[in-house]
Structure 1
Amino acid sequence: MKKPTIIIGKKQIVLTCMSLVLCGAVYLNYTLSGQQGLLPAGNDSPVADTEGDLPQPNDYGAAELVSGSAQSDYFAKARLEKQTSRDTAVETLQSIIGGGDLSEEEMVVNAIDAVTLSQLIESESIIESLILAQGFSDCVVYLDGNGAKVVVESDGLNASQAAAIKDIILSEAEVAAEGIRIFEVASGAQEDAAES
């Protein structure tokens, strides 16, 4: 009688490793970002109130500064939307990787996409932490393969602060300097003074 042999191929090893890396990155992002500030479903308050003409952007090198006013829950909604879209992308990639009829090349491409997504999520979290360490009260970072968008809460962003944000992004992510855009959202204290 023959003993059954278990054959583990390269495909299974690569797929298992990529799945573990993806799961680790998602878990790390979840634990580092926390769940504070999330809004309950059904909160239909507007994200931003704009009045009059749009402000003209100030040119601080390759970064573009746009000022605007927003309610205090802007950052919570932005984080919730970002997390929802990332979760959807992760689920889609996991279902594709877990699918049955893929060639080895397609599985490798999907695994690379999953790793790239997890690296973007990790970079966003690190950049947000470093920007908050610069003294800003809140920020949200959006990275894609070509550029970065940063929304910071501030009473007035000056050129040195914009340069510091740009330096943080350039040190942590592989984006071109001209692909960085910085947006400013007025803090709550400034809004209250403007309404009075």
Structure 2
Amino acid sequence: DAGASVNGYASDITRTYAKESGEFADLIERFDELQQELVAQVKAGVEFAELHLKCHRRIAELLAETGIAKGSADALIEAGVTAAFYPHGLGHLLGIQVHDVGGHQVDDTGTKVDPPSGHPYLRLTRKLEVDQVLTIEPGLYVIDMLLENLAGTQAEEMIDKERLDWLRPYGGIRIEDNVRVLADGCENLTRGAFAA
């Protein structure tokens, strides 16, 4: 996780790397593809909260496809499994501050839109507008104190303990890019700098 300031404007990027090829490297690659699918959906007029909810669906699908969790995407989301593995929002505005202000403000008079129910940490709930700059940063983590909150619930039964134990030493994955919203898409400001 790193950032820089250029001409008074902030950036915020994250990459996860694997030391060697293998199953964790493959998971990073799949997570990078997931992140790029989300970036490709950024354009003016998109409701960012809806993109955040799509991210939870894709993470649920990935958890099931990799055997880390069992169940449909809907069931994993409803039970709180994705919230335990991905407790933050999909991204935030960038500007003079790294977590720039106004992520919930939808007009010039200060009208606010709260995050969707169950997603209190989503910092951006606005409809995307041309020339906004924001992060797209899905994450997948093993945070024991969050997973412990699932004890005795349906969610706990949906998580494969052996697969969780396999993932735990790695801590997790986050891939974060900075994107500029365009009328018909976006410009990824950071991806080229980290192409390997």
The verdict on a shared fold, with TM-score over 0.5 as the criterion, is no
Q: How does the TM-score come out when normalised to structure 2?
A: 0.28
Structure having the higher Rg: 1
Higher RCO, 1 vs 2 (CA within 8 Å, ≥6 residues apart): 2
Structure with bigger helix share is 1
Q: How does the TM-score come out when normalised to structure 1?
A: 0.28
